[in-house]
Structure 1
């Protein structure tokens, strides 16, 4: 493994020299996040314009080599717990395992082996006696929540200190097409979100940024707040909102059009969300 230090802008999927497992220092999590990349072919069913995946293409996850994943994850967790990786690679103040995160270079729930991956993580948590505070996080666009294996995986996640970070960047049809390049309807997003919340603690994960020199407009904010309000009215209650802006280089053609918002700008929107009684965490 390399001796190069990690920082919050480096989320390289090959930083540990492994196929599936990679470490990052997560600014939102406040420690080391052990990433699991099931989309080793850089394929996703969405194409978000702020995505940092190189050569991103439309598609689904390839078959997962569960034996190799188990070998990599067991070895890497053992190194974090008992080796000198933290000392060599991780800045002081962030030398703790915060979570195991299913994220990577595409939509992780598109892997047919998704439920089996969760079972594998549960097995290793027990075998290695991981501290119970270590979360299991699924970072997802939520589009495949109707699949039985995904639902079964979420049920198992809920027993493993698991939580879902469910992407909702915009709620208007034009907004989701422009930002996420998907035609998924708001009705479908709402159905999928309700399913996730029923099965496992779920946060909304929202990326808010400058596009063509302009921040999201008041209409974008109002649409989002109205969406949240209707959820709460119908007793569909997320844990809260994870609101963030851009920190890593975008590798999509729209990159020159994008820029991060200031913490002050994010906090302005966060204040409006909190006024609905929804916990909101901000990361610039």
Structure 2
């Protein structure tokens, strides 16, 4: 039996399985094996989040996706995990030897790919061959920039039919905060519109990274704007699953890395309590 590199919650390498689009992750949030789908193997993204751990990240769009290759890789990988000796080769601890989800994440924004709808259909077909729908989760992690494209909306409908959900990035609710953290010029009202569209199509969580900048937590005005933004969504009837609040787990590979630091768990718990007061469920991963 050949021995592969050990998997760890601190290493989310996209090429650990030697495949173009499929990679394994031991996820601290999922609590087991997450089967990652990388639609941006060119390391290009239309955002540049300052906490991003993607190596050699550059601005740009995704390349064309060979959907047949993706399906072939996913089928072979799932067969290895579910029917082969994958867990032994990768040294996965006994209590984590189960597939928690298939997660579309990777090295860039997945909704930027032209073949998004076909990708969703292919994942659904392969997962169906192994009887996975209803047994595992299906997660799309996105910054929401492609949500208003019709092919993406069609894909989200298919994703919802699989039992899937969306983790929609929201790190700030101010224009200045979005520009500083995500390096894009974006109005909060545009984000609000995209979240509303997404939530109508597929169960949606907001995903927020909370961290210290130059030793300080988010400012009071930033926190107040974020909470007011959530209240506006709730009052506007946007049906969200809740908020996934998490801290820094691995070092950023961006130029701002030295300015970022983890916040104590107590800070995330306190902010989570304020979110719950706005009527939303919260899951916290310090």
| TM bucket, shorter chain | over 0.9
Moved more, 94-103 or 79-88: 79-88
Distance 2:126 2:166 in 1: 20
Q: Distance in 2 between matches of 1:262 and 1:6?
A: 26
TM-score, normalising length from structure 2?
Answer: 0.97
- Which sections of structure 2, spanning at least 5 residues, go unmatched? none
C-alpha distance in 1, partners of 2:235/2:3? 51
Structure 2: distance between partners of 1:223 and 1:237: 20
**Partner of 1:39 in structure 2?**
40
8 A contact 2:42–2:62 mirrored in 1: yes
Q: 3-state DSSP class of the match of 1:11?
A: coil
- Given the alignment, which residue of 166, 178, 181 partners 1:179? 181
In structure 1, C-alpha distance between the alignment counterparts of 2:54 and 2:207, rounded to whole Å: 18
Offset of residue 133 of structure 1: 2.4
2:128 corresponds to which residue?
126
What TM-score does the superposition give when structure 1 sets the normalisation length? 0.98
1:1-23: CA deviations, max 9, x gaps? 85222111110001111111000
Q: Deviations over 1:75-94 (max 9, x none)?
A: 00111111111233222211
Q: What residue in structure 2 maps to residue 150 of structure 1? A: 152
Q: CA deviation at 1:139?
A: 0.2
Which residue of 252, 266, 273 corresponds with 2:275?
A: 273
Matches within 5 A, 1:1-284: 3-89=4-90, 90-130=92-132, 132-284=134-286
Alpha-carbon distance in structure 1 between the residues aligned to 2:73 and 2:130: 13
Contact kept? 1:146, 1:192, Cα under 8 Å: yes
Give the conservation status (yes or no) of the 8 Å contact 1:20–1:37.
yes
* CA–CA separation in structure 2 for the residues paired with 1:246 and 1:2: 30
1:139-195 deviations in Å (ceiling 9; x for gaps)? 000011110110000000001010000000001111000000011111110110000
The ranges of structure 1 where at least 4 consecutive aligned residues each deviate by more than 4 angstroms after the TM superposition are none
Q: Secondary structure at the match of 1:273?
A: helix
SS at match of 1:93: helix
Structure 1 position 249, deviation (Å)? 1.9
SS in 1 for 2:206: strand
C-alpha deviation, 1:122, in angstroms: 1.0
Matches of 1:48 and 1:144, distance apart in 2: 17
| Superposition deviation, residue 220 in structure 1 | 1.6
CA distance in 2, matches of 1:136, 1:282: 19
Distance 1:32 1:269 in 2: 29
Query: How much has 1:131 moved relative to structure 2?
Result: 5.4
- In structure 2, relative to structure 1, the CA distance for the partners of 1:218 and 1:92 (3 Å cut) is farther
Q: Deviations over 1:14-69 (max 9, x none)?
A: 11111110000111111110000000111111000000111111111100011211
SS in 1 for 2:208: strand
Aligned length: 284
